[in-house]
């Protein structure tokens, strides 16, 4: 057990240090290239912080752990939105949000989530054809990000520095986040299994929380440093990648069943909490403290419901 605790501490340190430097590098890249911080958060940062979910779900699907595959993705979306952004907006609501680059990305998320929910409900799972479609949707999402990166932040002073160097630093930090999250997840799952916790509960709580730690650290550090838009963009981008890659790659490699609880409870909750977070932002160009409080209450209720089902 001492070894487990030691590895947990190492993972925590890697996440803290990696998250701190990742946010700095992301902001420098955004200013240097003259694009909104929210766009960098929704693309480069979210791709790096979503790697743990991609690896966990792909490995789980190959090994036949079907409950973990879908539960990890949807659980991460719920955790990202309710716990991470709920905490962030409760502490310091984000203001003056550049909503133009958010609109089509939010629409992309809701459309993808609804389609995945319908397919998984009526087909009872996600298999090769839906998996290929989701992966192609990721290609389309990547293309749209290149084609429509967002309005330039002309008011931002462009700092000195090499963009390539900052991208390398960002990649190293993303690797540190991945390794740190893996250490936390592996040891958390060992403890949960020893306590006799069911596989689905592990997927939508322990693993989802563990693989969301990079997003959590990125959002908290962004908040502390006054770059709230990076955190919001990261959550939106990460949730989109959770749907397209975390569900799509395992489905394409090896189809898997989706439990009725995931399609009838978890996915609708995921849609609902994303609406609570983003609808006021898209309308008012800012977030509110009440959103954070409501999202945290939903997360607490969701965890209680998951453990009692």
Q: Where are the domains of the chain?
A: 2-150+159-308
CATH homologous superfamily of 2-150+159-308: NCX, central ion-binding region (1.20.1420.30)
Between CA 4 and CA 281 the distance in angstroms is: 41
> Could you tell me where the DSSP H helices lie in 79-212?
85-91, 100-123, 128-147, 163-194, 199-201, 208-211
For 259, list phi and psi in degrees, rounded to 5.
Answer: -65, 155
pTM (two decimals): 0.75
Tell me the pLDDT of the chain averaged across its residues.
78
The answer, yes or no, to whether residue 52 has pLDDT greater than 70, is no
The answer, yes or no, to whether residue 98 has pLDDT greater than 50, is yes
The answer, yes or no, to whether residue 56 has pLDDT greater than 60, is yes
The answer, yes or no, to whether residue 5 has pLDDT greater than 50, is yes
**Chain-centre distance for alpha carbon 66:** 20
For 103, list phi and psi in degrees, rounded to 5.
Answer: -60, -55
> Could you tell me where the DSSP H helices lie in 64-99?
66-78, 85-91
Higher-confidence residue: 164 or 286?
Answer: 286
- pLDDT over 90 for what percent of the chain? 22
CB atoms within 10 A of CB 188: 19
Average pLDDT over residues 155-170: 67
Which of 132-141, 232-241, 272-281 is least confident?
232-241
């Amino acid at each position: 057990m001492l070894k487990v605790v030691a590895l947990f501490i190492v993972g925590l340190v890697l996440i803290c240090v990696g998250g701190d430097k990742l946010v700095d590098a992301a902001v420098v890249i955004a200013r240097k290239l003259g694009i909104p911080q929210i766009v960098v958060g929704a693309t480069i940062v979210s791709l790096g912080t979503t790697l743990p979910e991609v690896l966990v779900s792909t490995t789980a699907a190959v090994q036949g752990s079907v409950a973990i595959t879908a539960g990890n993705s949807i659980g991460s979306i719920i955790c990202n939105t309710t716990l991470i952004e709920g905490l962030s907006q409760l502490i310091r609501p984000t203001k003056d949000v550049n909503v133009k680059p958010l609109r089509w990305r939010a629409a992309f998320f809701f459309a993808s989530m609804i389609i995945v929910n319908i397919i998984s409900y009526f087909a009872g799972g996600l298999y090769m054809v839906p998996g290929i479609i989701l992966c192609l949707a990721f290609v389309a999402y990547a293309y749209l990000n290149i084609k429509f990166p967002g309005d330039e932040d002309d008011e931002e002073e462009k700092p000195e520095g090499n963009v390539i160097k900052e991208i390398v630093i960002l990649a190293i930090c993303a690797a540190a986040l991945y390794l740190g999250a893996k250490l936390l997840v592996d040891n958390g799952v060992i403890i949960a299994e020893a306590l006799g916790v069911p596989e689905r509960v592990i997927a939508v709580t322990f693993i989802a929380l563990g693989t969301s730690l990079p997003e959590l650290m990125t959002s908290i550090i962004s908040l502390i440093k006054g770059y709230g838009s990076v955190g919001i963009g990261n959550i939106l981008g990460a949730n989109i990648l959770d749907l397209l890659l975390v569900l799509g790659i395992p489905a394409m490699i090896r189809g898997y069943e989706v439990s009725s609880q995931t399609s009838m409870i978890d996915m609708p909750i995921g849609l609902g909490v994303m609406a609570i977070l983003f609808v006021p932002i898209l309308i008012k160009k800012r977030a509110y403290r009440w959103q954070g409080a409501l999202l945290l209450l939903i997360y607490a209720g969701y965890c209680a419901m998951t453990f009692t089902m």
